[in-house]
Chain A
Amino acid sequence: AQSVTQLDSHVSVSEGTPVLLRCNYSSSYSPSLFWYVQHPNKGLQLLLKYTSAATLVKGINGFEAEFKKSETSFHLTKPSAHMSDAAEYFCVVTWGTGGFKTIFGAGTRLFVKA
């Protein structure tokens, strides 16, 4: 069975400090993994994706994530948080032909303090 666990429902950081949002997954298949961000009153936006190429994936706005198969993890990081990063972040697993089967994690709300 496939599953996604986001280990923290809320993360609070100060502006300028590193961000770590944790995601573990379980999949019987070779999954594709994504991180999406959801700002209030806006649609989900893709941050980055892993599709079995490089294990360290760079995304938009300075975010990156590392796929670790041995740990079944796909944690999202950013070296220095900005106020505009405050949002809800979702880790997503897809599988099936062309990835139409999808599971979202429950989300992690990131708060950034001035």
Chain B
Amino acid sequence: DTGVSQDPRHKITKRGQNVTFRCDPISEHNRLYWYRQTLGQGPEFLTYFQNEAQLEKSRLLSDRFSAERPKGSFSTLEIQRTEQGDSAMYLCASSPVPVAATNTEAFFGQGTRLTVV
């Protein structure tokens, strides 16, 4: 399968614990995005990488959240000291760098569903 893969698919954790999610983008895609989706809402942008550089972070990304893409390939999203409000689906997407200023679509993984109890 050459699509975007995310691991784990589901995570249940106790409040206050740290969790880490992994995303493997489509191999030739330079851009990688993280989104959060809560029930009944559309995905909300969290952060964006081009290669290994984190170029944009949403105000939604509090100090407890950190994302890395150390070698410009896979990425990790860590949440420290989880809170019940962090319960959501965390989506990863990737896209190639666009050609001729045409915006390209993103390809999404199936997401990691986090439940904080």
Q: In whole angstroms, what is the CA distance A72 to B4 when docked? A: 32
Residues of A within 8 A of B97 (CB): 98
Chain A, interface size category, equals: 20 to 34
* In-complex Cβ contact of A100 among B3, B56, B111 (8 A): B56
Closest to B9 in A: A41
Q: Is B69 an interface residue (CB 8 A)?
A: no
Judge whether B105 and A100 touch: CB under 8 Å.
no
CA of A51 to CA of B98 in the docked complex: distance in angstroms?
A: 12
Please tell me if the beta carbons of A49 and B105 are within 8 angstroms of each other in the complex.
yes
Q: Say whether chain A's binding surface is mostly helix, strand, loop, or mixed.
A: strand
CB distance from B24 to the nearest CB of A (A): 13
Cβ distance A53 to chain B, nearest Cβ, rounded Å: 9
Question: Is B33's CB within 8 Å of the partner chain A?
Answer: yes
Given A32-B103, A98-B103, does the pair A43, B108 have CB atoms closer than 8 Å?
A: yes
9 contacts between A and B (CB under 8 A): A44-B43, A51-B102, A94-B103, A98-B98, A99-B98, A101-B56, A102-B45, A104-B35, A106-B42
